[in-house]
Amino acid sequence: MGYLSLTDADRAEMLAAIGVSSVDELFEQIPPGVRFQRELDVPPALGEAELMRHLEELAAKNVHTQAELSFVGAGIYDHYVPAVADVVLSRGEFLTAYTPYQPEMSQGTLQAIFEYQTVICELTGMDVSNASGYDGTTVAADACFVAKHVTDRHKVVLAETLNPQVRQVVKTYAPGFGFAVVEVPHRNGVTDPDELARASTDAAAVFFQQPNFLGCLEDAPALAAAANEAGALSVAHVDLMSLGVLEAPGAYGCAIALGEGQAAGNWPSYGGPHYGFFAARSEYVRRMPGRIVGETVDADGKRGFVLTLQTREQHIRREKATSNMTTNQTLLALAGLATLSWLGPEGLREVGETCLALAEYTRERVPLEPAFEAGCFKEIAFRTPTPTRDVIRRAREHGVNPGYALGRDYQGMDDVLLVAVTEKKSVEDIDRLASVLEEVCA
Amino acid sequence: MGYLSLTDADRAEMLAAIGVSSVDELFEQIPPGVRFQRELDVPPALGEAELMRHLEELAAKNVHTQAELSFVGAGIYDHYVPAVADVVLSRGEFLTAYTPYQPEMSQGTLQAIFEYQTVICELTGMDVSNASGYDGTTVAADACFVAKHVTDRHKVVLAETLNPQVRQVVKTYAPGFGFAVVEVPHRNGVTDPDELARASTDAAAVFFQQPNFLGCLEDAPALAAAANEAGALSVAHVDLMSLGVLEAPGAYGCAIALGEGQAAGNWPSYGGPHYGFFAARSEYVRRMPGRIVGETVDADGKRGFVLTLQTREQHIRREKATSNMTTNQTLLALAGLATLSWLGPEGLREVGETCLALAEYTRERVPLEPAFEAGCFKEIAFRTPTPTRDVIRRAREHGVNPGYALGRDYQGMDDVLLVAVTEKKSVEDIDRLASVLEEVCA
Amino acid sequence: MSAEPGSTWKETPLIFERSRPGRRAGRPPRPDLPVPDLPDSLRRSRAPRLPELAESEIVRHFTALADRTFGVDTGFYPLGSCTMKHNPRVHERAAALPGFRDLHPHTEDEDAQGALELMWHLQGILAEVAGLPAVTLQPAAGSQGELTGLMLMRAYFADRGEDRDTIITADTAHGTNPASVTMAGYSLEKVGTDTRGNLDLDDLRGKVNARTAGLMLTNPSTLGLFDEGIEQVARIFHDAGALLYYDGANLNAVVGLSRPGDMGFDIVHYNLHKTFSQPHGGGGPGGGPVAVRDTIEPFLPAPTVVRNGDTFRLNHDRPKSIGRVRGFAGPFGVFVRSYAYMRAYGPALREMSEVAVLNANYLLARLRDAYDLPYDRHCMHEFVLSARNLKREYGITALDVAKRLMDYGIHPPTVYFPLVVPEALMIEPTETEPKERLDDFVDAMHAIAREAAETPELLKEAPHGRPVRRLDEVRAAKQPILRYLFDEHPAVVA
Amino acid sequence: MSAEPGSTWKETPLIFERSRPGRRAGRPPRPDLPVPDLPDSLRRSRAPRLPELAESEIVRHFTALADRTFGVDTGFYPLGSCTMKHNPRVHERAAALPGFRDLHPHTEDEDAQGALELMWHLQGILAEVAGLPAVTLQPAAGSQGELTGLMLMRAYFADRGEDRDTIITADTAHGTNPASVTMAGYSLEKVGTDTRGNLDLDDLRGKVNARTAGLMLTNPSTLGLFDEGIEQVARIFHDAGALLYYDGANLNAVVGLSRPGDMGFDIVHYNLHKTFSQPHGGGGPGGGPVAVRDTIEPFLPAPTVVRNGDTFRLNHDRPKSIGRVRGFAGPFGVFVRSYAYMRAYGPALREMSEVAVLNANYLLARLRDAYDLPYDRHCMHEFVLSARNLKREYGITALDVAKRLMDYGIHPPTVYFPLVVPEALMIEPTETEPKERLDDFVDAMHAIAREAAETPELLKEAPHGRPVRRLDEVRAAKQPILRYLFDEHPAVVA
Ligand SMILES: Cc1ncc(COP(=O)(O)O)c(C=O)c1O
Ligand SMILES: Cc1ncc(COP(=O)(O)O)c(C=O)c1O
C-alpha cells in the first residue's frame, strides 16, 4: 500500500527492539476518548498505473490553454517556459531538499537563491530581495506589515487599477495590522497622480501597478513621487517580463517593488504554485519578510552562502518577527532564475518589444474600440457592442478565447474585454482573433 | 542561431591565436572543386518557442494510444512505464554521457549496465547478457552471426510464427553470412516440433518465439529440444514481461534468448528508440556481440566495473570482430532496468497473471471465434465475419481500435484480428471492446 | 576549473561570473512588426545585468549546483518537524499533464471540471482526516494556514459581538505560532509544559479567561509527544467560550488514528508538503489548507469548491467570508500531488501514520542509551534527544553532532528546537524509510558518540566531506552581502 | 553507508545488495478475475531474482549512480570522433509529447501524418546536406548504416550482374568499417596514408581493380584532416566501376561546406547522435540514416517515407529493396530530436560546422607546443596529438594524460586511436563549447605537461578525484564476472 516498505520481519525486529508486542501499544498515549475507531472513509487505494489513468481522466476534463487559441491573461500569462526550467524542476536534489538550514548540505540551493535575489534586484532596481513570497497577492500584505513598522501609520492606499485579488488580500490582512484601506478610482484606465497624492496623506504605504490591471501604462514615476512626498512607502506591483523595456521601480524612487513571478518561468497550473517576489531599498532590509541568503566564508576561507539576517524571522524573533513565513516558493523562484538566465538582457528586451509590437498590432487589427486611451504593454482593453461575456462565449465556439471580462471585477465594465498577448502569439494568431471578433461582434 | 555561443571578441582572439585572418582560410584544405558554394536549401531557423509550437502541431496530427481505446500490440505494447523510469531518462548525467570507455568517469553507467545484464540473465535463465542491441529484430541477426561461427553451418531455420519483421531482418542479413533461410509454417497457430526437427538438420540456428506472433503459446521446450538435437543453436525470442509467469528459456535448454525490450520500460514512440536484449549460455560468451560490462577491482582494491572481453569488438578485432556494433541502446535498457526493479519479482508475476486473466476474459467476452486453439498470454486472435481491416475501421468510428490485422503479414489471414491486452486494460475496457465488436460484426 | 585538481568538489562560480557579454541562449520570437515607442519616463534607462550564457553552460551550472544540494533523493533526511518523506515521481508526471499544467486559473468553471473535481475530493479527504466538515484549500503554507485560522477566530467572535484579544500558545510552539498571533493583531500568552511533556494544566487554568480568543497547539507536540490531557485542555477553552486551533505540522503521526476535530479542535491547518508529500523544493512550495467546524464555516475565505450533482464550481458568494488570503483557489499543482499521495494509500493512510510512529520509536529505542532523553515516553512520529551529555563530558554540542552526521551521508536532524530542550536533536524518520536507512542512522549516531569521546576534534572540525565547512554566519549578518555586486563585488575569498 | 566517513564518494552497493525479501515498489492492477492455469512445462519454475526495493530506494540508487557518471551536462567532453555536443533540453520535451511518445508504430499512415511529415522533412534536410537524392532513416546507428551501405553495394552489383568481392578501407579507418565489411560478406583490402594524412594514391591505384566493389572512407579522416586528393580518389574508383561509401561520423566538420555527394561518394551514412545531437545515453541510442544516388535508390530498405501532395505515407512496395534492416521505420524519437536540432539552425547549419572547425583549430594552435603534432596542417572539427614526447622524456603515456585530465574535471579525449598515431590523443571540442571551456582545457593540458616533468608519479597514479582509480581490466577479462551471482557472488574486495 502506498510507499511503505517495512517487511513483516522488519516489524518484528523493530517491535522487539522497542520492547512492545504491537504497534497499538505505541498509541496508548492517545486518550481512549479521542482515538479514532473506524476505518477512514476515503476513496480506495490505487496502484501507480491506475492512479495515472484516473488523473489523466480528470486532466482531460479541463480545457487548457493549448486546447484553444487563448488571449486570457489578467494576472497569469503564457509566456514561453524554456526547457532549461525543466532541468531545475526535474533535478531530484533541488526538488526534494528543504529550506537550507544546514548550509554545508545545501550550497547549491543557497547559491541559486543568491543568484535569484541578484536577478530580482537587477530587474527592479532595488537593493535587496528575499528568497520569494507565496504569490503576487501575499507579498503585498507583507509590504503592508513592513510599512506598519517603518511608518507607524495606520492606512494603506490602493490604486483601483491594482490587481483585484491583490486588493482583496490586502483587505483581508488589514484588520490584523490595524490598517484602514483606501482605494483610489481609475480615470479613463489610469490613476491620477494628484488624486493619489491627496489620498496618500498619513498613509503607511501606497500601492500601484505597472502596467496596471486594465492593461494601461500608468505614469508610474508621478505616482511614486506622490506617495513619497506624503511620507508613505511607495510600492510598485510590476511584471518581471516587462522590465526589459519598462523602467525599473528603483529608478523612479519606489521604496518596494513586488509582484507575481509566474510570467517568468512558471506554468499557469490553475493558479499555482508560483512565486511572489519582494524587493526593497536597503534601509528596509531588517524589516524584510522571509528568507534571505547572504555570502560569507567558511572555516577555510572559501566562499559560501547561508541564510542570514535570521533575527528578523519567526524561529528566532517569534512574536516580534517581521513575518510568520517559513515555507516559501523557492523551487518556483529557481525556475524563474533559470528562465531569466536563459533569456538574458537581450532576450528579455526582445520579449518586451515583441509584447509591445503585438499589443499595438492587436489594437490596429481588432475591430473594436479600445476602452482606454493610455498606452499598453501586453494587454489591451476593448469595448464590446454586446455584453463581453456573450462575446467570449460566442468567440469560443470558433475556437478562440478572446480574453478576460473586466466586468468580473469592475462595475460598469460589463462591456470591456481585456486581451492579453505574449511573445508566443503570432501575427496570424491575432489576425484570427480579429476575424473571429469581427464575426461575433457584427 | 542554434546553440552557438562564440562572441565576435572570442572569434577575433581565436583567429589570432590560430594565425589566420578568417575562418575560410581553415577550409582551404577542401579542394575548390568540392566546396559547397550556395546556402543550404533547408527550412528556416526557429527559436525554441516557435520550434516547440511547430512540433506540437506535428504531434497533434497523430492519433496516439491515449487518444482512443487501443488493443493494438503485435510486437509493441503499452505496458505501464513507471515514473521511476523518468528518473533515469531525465538525469543529465545518464542522458549526455557516451559509452564508458573511461571507467573512472562512468562508474554509474557501468554499474547500471552490470545490473541490467544480471536482470536479463535472471529473466531468461541465461549465463551472460550484453549491454543491449538495437532492437528485437537486429539481435536475431546478431545471433545468426554467432551461430555461423559456432557451428560452421550455412542455414537458419525460422518458425513462421516468429515476428515477421524479425524474419525480414534475418533475411536481409543472411546473404552476407552466406546463410540460406528456411521457414517452418504454423499449424493452427503453433509450430509443430517434428516439422521443426526435420527442418533443423544441418541448421546453424533455429528461431522460435514464445508467446508467438499469433498470440499462441508454443510448446517451447519441445521446439528447443528439436533444435538442440539437430546440433543447431536454439534461439528463443521472448517477451520480458511474460517471464514472471512463463518458463525461462534457459530452463528448457535454449542456447540463446533474445527479444524486443520495449514492453519493459519504453514508450511505443512510433517504433523507437527501444532496446533489444541478447543473452546466451556461457560457452558462447566470447562470440557475443556488443558491449559487456564486468566487475573488477581498482588500484586500491575497490570494486569497480569496466567494459570487458573487448577483444571480441570491432575497435580491437576489426574485421575479425563478433559484431560491428558500437553505439547501442544503453539508455533505453537502463529504463528497462528501472522498470523491472520497480516491479520486482512479485510485480512482474502479477503483471503476467493480469495479462493471462485479461486475455482469458477477452476470449470469453468477445463475440468472435478464436482463430486458434492454443493457449495465449496477452494476445489473442479472432476470426472476423467481414475482412478484418473493415472491422477495425468501423470499430474505430466508435473510438475503439480493436487490434492488429494479421492479414498484413500472413496470407489467408485477412479475416484474423489480433487483440492485445496489458495490465493497463480494465475489465470495463474489454467489455467496451466486446460491445463495439458486437455492434460492428453484427 | 578546479582549484586544486583532484579535489572532488569543483568550485562553482556564480552564474554572473560565468557570463560573457554578448552570449545568449534564448531567442524569443520577433514578429516583423514595428516596435512602438515608449515615453522616456517609462522606458528602461539601464539594461538589467542578467546572466549571459549559452544554454549548455546554463544546464551545467544548475547541474553543478544540484550536485551541491542534498535532498531526500540523496539520502536519509530526518529533519524533525518537516516530515521529509519520499516524493513519488509519478506526482511530477501527473502535475505536468497539459490538462493541469496549462490550465489558466481564470478558466470558466465548466471548463475546469477535472480540476474542481480533484479539489473537491481533496477537501473531502482532508475533512475526514481532521474530523471537521468544512475546508478551504487556499492558504499557501502552514504559516498562512495559522494566520487564516486566527483571522477566522476574529471574524467568528466579531460576528458574535465578543471582544477577545489573547491567543495562548505552548512554550514548545513553533516560531510561526507567535508570529502569526502578532500578524493577526492578537496578543500572546504562553503556557508551560509539564514533566511528561504535556501542557501544564494548572498554568493553563490560570491564564484562560474571557479575553482569551483561543489556543494554538501542535499535537503531538514539537516534542513528538501526544498531549495526554488534550480532553481537559479542550474543555477548559470551550468552557471559557474560546476556540482551539490545531497546528497540523505533526499530523503525520495521527492520520486515521486520532482526529483533531474529535480532540476538540475547532480549526485545523494541514501542511500538504509534509503529511501529503509535496516535494519541499529547497524551501517550498507548500500548501496549508484549513478545516473548521460548521459554526466557523461561514467565515472561510472565498472561493471554496462546491458540488451540485455531477458538476463542481467555485463559490465566490460568501457574504461572511474573511475574504481571500491568496490568489485564485490555492496552489493547484500541490493539490494534484497530495491528492495522488492520498489515493496511493486509500484507507491505509492509517498505516502510513502507524509506520511513521513505529520508525520513530525504533530509532528512539536504539539511541536512548547514547544520548539524553528529556521525556522518557514512547514518542509519536518524531522525538527529541539532547546532546547535553556529550556537551557536559566532551564539550561536543548538538551542532557538532549535526555537522559530523553529514560525513556519514545523512542530513542532520533539526537542532536547538524546541527551545525547552537544551542541545536538542529533533529526529523524524517518516514512514517511507526502510529499516536499513534507520539502522545506518543508528550506527552513525553511535559512532559519533564514540568519536565524541575519542576524537572530539574530528567532530569540532566536521564536516570533512562537503564543499564547505562551518560557514561564518556572524560575518554574513554583520557585513551583509545579499546580491552579486558585479564590478564592486568583493573578490572571492581564499 | 560510507566506508570512511568524510570521503565524498559514498559506496554504492549493487541494486541487488540493496534488496530485501518482500520489499516492493510497483503494484500492477489486479482485476478481480481468475488466473487461468498454465501447463507445467510452460509455467515459470523458479522466480527471477529481480531487485526488491521501495521506490524511494530505487530513486536514491539511480541518483547515486548518476552522480558517479560524467556527461556533457557535467563538463567538457572532447571525446574525439564522438561529437559530444550540447543536447538541448527542449528535445526531451518534444520527444515526450503524447502525439510522438505514445504513437504506436502500427498506426495507419493517415493517423500518423505528423510523424511521417517530420520524417519526410528530415529525409529532405539530410539529402540536401549530403548532396544525394534518396534517404532511408531505418538504420539504428552508424555501424548499421555502414552495413546497410555495403548490402546496397551487393544488391547494386548483383542487379548489374557484376561479381565484386573486395572493399577497400583506409588504415586510419574506424574499427566498425572492417567489421562491417566482414559482416556483409566482403573481403577487406587496406590502403595507407601519405605524409600529409591523405589516402596514399599510389598504394590505392595498385589495389583498385575489377574485383573491387568499393571504398569506405571517413572524410575528414579520423585524423581530422580533409582528404586533399578526394577528387582523384573518386575518379579511381568510378573509373574501375566501383562505388564510394562515406562514413559520416565526421560530418560535423563539413555541413553546408562540402557535400559527400559532390565529393563523389555514392552512399553516405549519418550519425544523428553525433552531428545532430541525439543524447548519447551512456552508449546509445543513435540513428544511422543512409543517403544514396538515384542509381542505388531502388535497393534502399523498405519502408521509406513518401509524399503525395499534402499526405505522407510509408512505402513498403519496393521490389528491388535489400529488405528491412531494423524494426519499423527507424528510431523515431531520435528523429524528433535531430529534426529539432536542424530547425534550431536552419541554413546556419553551415555556421555550426564552421565553429566546430574553429574551436578545434584554436585548441590545436594552443596545444601544439606542448604535445607532438603528427600532421602539421590546419585540422577540421577534430585533431590528433601524440603524447610520445612525454613518453620519451618522462615515461608518461597518453593514458596517464587522460587519467589526469579527470582530476581537472574534464572528460579525456579518445586515446590510442587512430592506430597510425602512437600515444594518440584525439580531441573534438564541438561547436557548442564556449571559449572559456576551451581555455580551461588548454590550461589543464599545459599543467599536465608540466606535471609530467615535475611530478610524473602524480600522473601515474591519477585520477585522484574519482570514485575509483585505474581498474584492473586484465583481471576483468581473465576472470570474467559478468553478472551479480547472489549468494555465490565474490565478497566485495577491499
Ligand atoms: C510545528 C510547525 N508549525 C508550523 C510550521 C509552519 O508551516 P509552513 O512551513 O508550512 O509554513 C512548521 C513548519 O516549519 C512547523 O514545524
Ligand atoms: C569514424 C567512425 N565510424 C563509424 C562509427 C560507428 O558509428 P555508431 O557508433 O553510430 O555505430 C563511429 C562511432 O563510433 C566512428 O567514430
Joined grid coordinates for residue D252: 560535423
| Cell numbers for C109 | 468553471
d(Cα A147, Cα C3) in Å, to the nearest integer? 46
Which residues in chain A have their CB less than 8 angstroms from residue D53's CB?
Answer: 5
Count CA within 13 A, CB hemisphere, residue C177. 28
Q: Hey, is the C-beta of D291 within 8 angstroms of any chain C C-beta?
A: no
Question: Which tens digit of pLDDT belongs to each residue from C19-49?
Answer: 999 999 999 999 999 999 999 999 999 999 9
Give me the residue from A70, A145, A272 closest to C183, CB to CB: A145
Parallel/antiparallel/unpaired status of strands D304-308 and D243-248: unpaired
3-state secondary structure of A176: helix
Q: Torsions phi, psi of B373, nearest 5?
A: -85, -25
pTM across the whole model: 0.98
CB contact under 8 A, B7 and C29: no
Kindly give the distance from the C-alpha atom of residue D249 to the centroid of ligand 2, in angstroms, as a whole number: 6
Res. D190: pLDDT tops 70: yes
Report long-range pairs for D206-211 (Cβ below 8 Å, ≥24 apart): D207/D168, D208/D168, D208/D236, D208/D237, D208/D240, D208/D242, D209/D240, D210/D164, D210/D240, D210/D241, D211/D164, D211/D165, D211/D166
Q: Whose CA is nearest to atom 12 of ligand 2?
A: D249
pLDDT higher than threshold 70 for residue D3 = no
User: Phi/psi at B347 (nearest 5 deg)?
Assistant: -60, -40
Q: What are A190's strand-pairing partners?
A: A187
How far B268 CA lies from chain D's nearest CA (Å)?
Answer: 5
Segment C251-271 mean pLDDT: 98
Instruction: Respond yes or no on whether the N-terminal peptide bond of residue C34 is cis (omega within 30° of 0).
Output: no
Which residues does chain B have within 8 Å of residue A424's beta carbon, measured at their own beta carbons?
49, 53
Ligand sitting nearest the alpha carbon of C245: 1
Look at residues C423, C125, C166, C436 and name the one whose alpha carbon lies nearest to residue C291.
Answer: C125
Query: Which pLDDT value is given to residue D9?
Result: 75
Residues in chain A predicted with pLDDT less than 70, given as ranges, are none
Q: Identify whether the C-beta of residue D427 lies closer than 8 Å to the C-beta of residue D398.
A: no
**Atom 15 (ligand 1) nearest CA:** C249
Instruction: Please give the order of strands across the beta sheet that includes B416-420.
Output: B369-370, B379-383, B416-420, B404-405
Judged against a pLDDT cut of 70, whether residue D492 lies above it is answered with no
pLDDT at B284: 97
Q: Rg of the Cα trace of chain B?
A: 25
What is the position in ligand 2's atom list of the atom closest to the CA of D145?
Answer: 11
**Partner C contacted by D490 (CB < 8 A):** no
| pLDDT average, residue stretch D152-171 | 98
- What is the pLDDT, as a whole number, of residue B313? 87
Which tens digits make up the pLDDT trace of B118-162?
Answer: 999 999 999 999 999 999 999 999 999 999 999 999 999 999 999
pLDDT of residue C493: 52
The cell for D3 is 566506508
d(CA A290, CA A301): 28
Per the DSSP assignment, residues forming a β-bridge with D367 are none
C276-335 pLDDT tens trace? 999 999 999 999 999 999 999 999 999 999 999 999 999 999 999 999 999 999 999 999
The stretch C196-203 carries a mean pLDDT of 97
C-beta of C142 in contact with ligand 1 (< 6 A): yes
H/E run at residue D200: none
- Is D20 in Cβ contact with A47 (below 8 Å)? no
To the nearest whole percent, how much of chain A has pLDDT over 90? 95
What spacing in Å lies between the alpha carbon of C176 and ligand 1's midpoint? Answer: 7
Closest CA–CA distance from residue B50 to any residue of chain C (Å): 7
pLDDT tens per residue, range C401-418 = 999 999 999 999 999 999
By the CB < 8 Å criterion, does B145 face chain D? Answer: yes
Residue C218: CB within 6 Å of ligand 1?
yes
Grid cell listed for D1 = 553507508
Rounded Cα distance between A130 and A275, Å, is 11
A93 contact residues in D (CB cutoff 8 A): 63
- Please report which confidence band the pLDDT of residue C9 belongs to, taking 50, 70 and 90 as the band edges: confident
Which one of the ligands is nearest to B323 CA? 2
Ligand 2 pocket member D141 (CB < 6 A): yes
For A314, the grid coordinates are 519567526
Bond before A100 cis per omega within 30 degrees: no
Q: Is A1 on the interface with B (CB under 8 A)?
A: no
Q: How far C174 CA sits from the closest chain A CA (Å)?
A: 7
Burial of D7 (0-12, 13-18, 19+ CB in 10 A): middle
Task: Tell me if C288 CB under 6 Å of ligand 1.
Answer: yes
* Shortest alpha-carbon distance between residue B435 and chain D (Å): 19
Q: C5 pLDDT band (50/70/90 cuts)?
A: low
Q: Which DSSP helix (H) or strand (E) runs through D168?
A: strand D166-170
**Which residue out of D17, D60, D432 would a mutagenesis test of the C interface target, given it has the greatest number of C Cβ atoms within 10 Å?**
D60
Region of C481 (left: φ > 0; alpha: ψ -120 to 50; beta: rest) is beta
Report phi then psi at D48, rounded to 5: -65, 140
User: ipTM above 0.85?
Assistant: yes
Task: For residue D439, give how far its alpha carbon lies from the nearest alpha carbon of chain A (Å).
Answer: 23
CB A377 within 8 A of CB A359: yes
- State whether residue A216 is helix, strand or coil: strand
Looking up cell 544540484, which residue turns up? C66
Residues 6+ apart with CB under 8 A from A396: A68
Q: Ligand 2: distance of its center to the CA of D202 in Å?
A: 27
pLDDT digit string, tens, across residues C115-161: 999 999 999 999 999 999 999 999 999 999 999 999 999 999 999 99
**Predicted confidence (pLDDT) at residue D270 exceeds the cutoff of 50:** yes
Grid cell 484516473 — which residue? A54
So what's the pLDDT on residue D1? 36
- Tell me the average pLDDT across B307-320: 90
| Residue from D10, D18, D27 to probe the interface with A (highest A Cβ count within 10 Å) | D27
* Chains sharing 3 or more CB pairs under 8 A with chain C: A, B, D
C193 lines ligand 1 (CB under 6 A): no
Q: Please give the mean pLDDT across all residues of chain A.
A: 97
In sequence order, the β-bridge partners of residue A128 are: A280
Distance D268 CA to ligand 2 centre (A): 13
DSSP C268: E
pLDDT attached to residue A87: 87
Helix, strand or coil for residue C141? coil
Q: How confident is the model at residue D2 (pLDDT cuts 50, 70, 90)?
A: very low
- Considering only CA atoms, which residue is closest to atom 8 of ligand 1? C142
Distance from the first to the final alpha carbon of chain D:
15
Hey, what's the cell of A291? 528568507
Of C105, C322, C336, nearest to A268 by CB-CB distance is C105
pLDDT at B346 over 80: yes
Cβ atoms within 10 Å of A386's Cβ, excluding its own: 12
On the question of pLDDT at D494 being above 60, the answer is no
Is the beta carbon of D169 within 6 A of some atom in ligand 2?
no
In this structure, the number of other CB atoms found within 10 A of the CB of residue D24 comes to 22
| Cell (9 digits) for C451 | 568519536
On the question of pLDDT at B364 being above 70, the answer is yes
Q: Which chains does chain D touch, 3 or more C-beta pairs < 8 A? A: A, B, C
pLDDT tens readout for residues A149-206: 999 999 999 999 999 999 999 999 999 999 999 999 999 999 999 999 999 999 999 9
State pLDDT tens for residues A333-354: 999 999 999 999 999 999 999 9
Q: How far is residue B2 from each of residues A339, A348, B407, D81, measured CA to CA in Å?
A: 17, 18, 46, 22
Asked whether residue B419 carries a pLDDT value surpassing 80, the answer given is: yes
CB distance C253 to C356 below 8 Å = yes
Chain B residues lying within 8 Å of D289, measured CB to CB? none
Give residue A252's pLDDT: 98
DSSP state of A180: E
